[in-house]
């Protein structure tokens, strides 16, 4: 068996962060990278630089907002460039197949303010996502879904829950949708191997937030049972959060025996 390293990262504009992303890819040699908020249309995606770094790219882009992509060392077959059975022009989901394994990158809506059209859109997206995630498990044994889910599952997943009590990130309906993934048969990769660590993947841009660890865990890697059995480790990599002009997120990395 060989190691497969899979990462998810909300890059917050791939063209702005590209030099540091390429440095990180060379250093970490991930096999699959699931990207969110690439914030570029397909035609402006840096395919040349990504391919020169040794990666194929599957992209669902959008000008200035959203956008998701999958970078892979091996060729992939694109299964879906949008969330099936969900009518939206926002680029928030892409799904590929590689060597019998499905990899999906998802950027869940933020949903704020509560009880607005944006919040309603978030819950409808999550409902459609869960329905499709369930279908994936019925058709494939090996599934890995990573992304920015914009949900703080519990009080231990944020430095202080109080400022977020009236926030879409902690809303109980959103939490139920995300929690229900485990009843469908998905496993939270980080919590399998790190029951005692906070696993923060996001810190806002306030000058002291990152170094004071005022963060939250809103990026996840969920995997099917067969992939969970072969999970070796999962960790938060803060290298990219320490660079100049960083994203407010940092990669979450999982290593599987394949």
The residue-averaged pLDDT of 9-20 equals 98
- pLDDT band at residue 10, thresholds of 50, 70 and 90? very high
Sequence length of the chain is 258
**Mean pLDDT across 36-64:** 98
The average pLDDT across 45-60 equals 98
**Distance from C-alpha of 168 to C-alpha of 191, rounded to nearest angstrom:** 22
Checking DSSP bridges between strand 101-107 and strand 187-188, what pairing results, if any? unpaired
pLDDT tens for 91-131 read 999 999 999 999 999 999 999 999 999 999 999 999 999 99
Q: Give the SS3 label for residue 153.
A: coil
- The stretch 135-144 carries a mean pLDDT of 98
Question: Could you state, in order of their start, the residue ranges of all structural domains in the chain?
Answer: 3-257
pLDDT band at 202 (very low <50, low <70, confident <90, very high): very high
The confidence score (pLDDT) of residue 1 equals 74
Percent of the chain with pLDDT over 90: 98
Name the E strands within 176-230.
187-188, 202-203, 215-216, 219-223
Predicted confidence (pLDDT) per residue in 65-82, tens digit: 999 999 999 999 999 999
pLDDT at 195: 86
HSE-up of 125 (CA within 13 Å, CB side)? 24
**Percentage, residues of the chain above pLDDT 70:** 100
Handedness of CA 229, 233, 236, 240 (dihedral sign): negative
What is 3-257's CATH superfamily?
Endonuclease/exonuclease/phosphatase (3.60.10.10)
Q: What is the pLDDT of residues 144-198, one digit of tens each?
A: 999 999 999 999 999 999 999 999 999 999 999 999 999 999 999 999 999 889 9
The pLDDT assigned to 218 comes to: 98
Query: Rounded mean pLDDT of the chain?
Result: 97
Which residues are registered as beta bridge partners of 256? Answer: 4, 231
Residue 96 is predicted with a pLDDT of 98
The predicted model gives 211-228 an average pLDDT of 98
10 Å CB burial of residue 189 (0-12, 13-18, 19+) is buried
Q: Which residues make beta-bridge pairs with 101?
A: 98, 142
3-10 sheet: strands from edge to edge = 56-60, 68-72, 32-36, 3-10, 252-257, 231-236
Tell me the C-alpha to C-alpha distance, in Å, between residue 98 and each of 73, 78, 88.
10, 9, 26
**Longest alpha-carbon distance in the chain:** 49
What is the reported pLDDT for 258? 86
- Structure tokens that stand for 124 in this block: 């409808």
Q: Rounded to whole angstroms, what are the CA distances from 28 to 11, 22, 231, 240, 254?
A: 16, 10, 18, 11, 12
pLDDT at 232: 98
């Amino acid at each position: 068996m060989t190691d497969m390293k899979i990462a998810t990262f909300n890059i917050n504009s791939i063209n702005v962060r590209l030099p540091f992303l390429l440095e990180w890819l060379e250093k970490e040699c991930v096999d699959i990278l699931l990207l969110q908020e690439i914030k570029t249309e397909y035609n402006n995606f840096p395919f040349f630089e990504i391919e020169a770094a040794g990666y194929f790219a599957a992209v669902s882009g959008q000008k200035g907002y959203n956008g998701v992509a999958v970078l892979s060392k091996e060729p992939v077959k694109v299964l879906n460039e949008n969330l099936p059975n969900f009518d939206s022009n926002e680029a928030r989901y892409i799904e590929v197949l590689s060597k019998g394994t499905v990899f999906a990158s998802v950027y869940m809506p933020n949903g704020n303010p509560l009880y607005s059209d944006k919040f309603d859109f978030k819950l409808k997206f999550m409902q459609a996502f869960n329905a499709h995630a369930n279908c994936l498990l019925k058709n494939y044994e090996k599934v890995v879904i990573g992304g920015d889910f914009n949900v703080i599952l519990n009080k231990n997943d944020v430095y202080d829950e109080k400022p977020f009590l009236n926030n879409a990130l902690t809303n109980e309906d959103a939490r139920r949708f995300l929690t229900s993934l485990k009843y469908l048969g998905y496993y939270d990769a980080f919590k399998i191997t790190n029951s005692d660590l906070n696993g923060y993947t996001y810190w806002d841009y306030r000058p002291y937030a990152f170094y004071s660890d005022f963060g939250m865990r809103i990026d996840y890697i969920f995997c099917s049972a067969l992939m969970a059995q072969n999970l070796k480790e999962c960790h938060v990599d803060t290298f990219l959060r320490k660079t100049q002009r960083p994203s407010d997120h940092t990669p979450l990395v999982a290593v599987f025996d394949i």
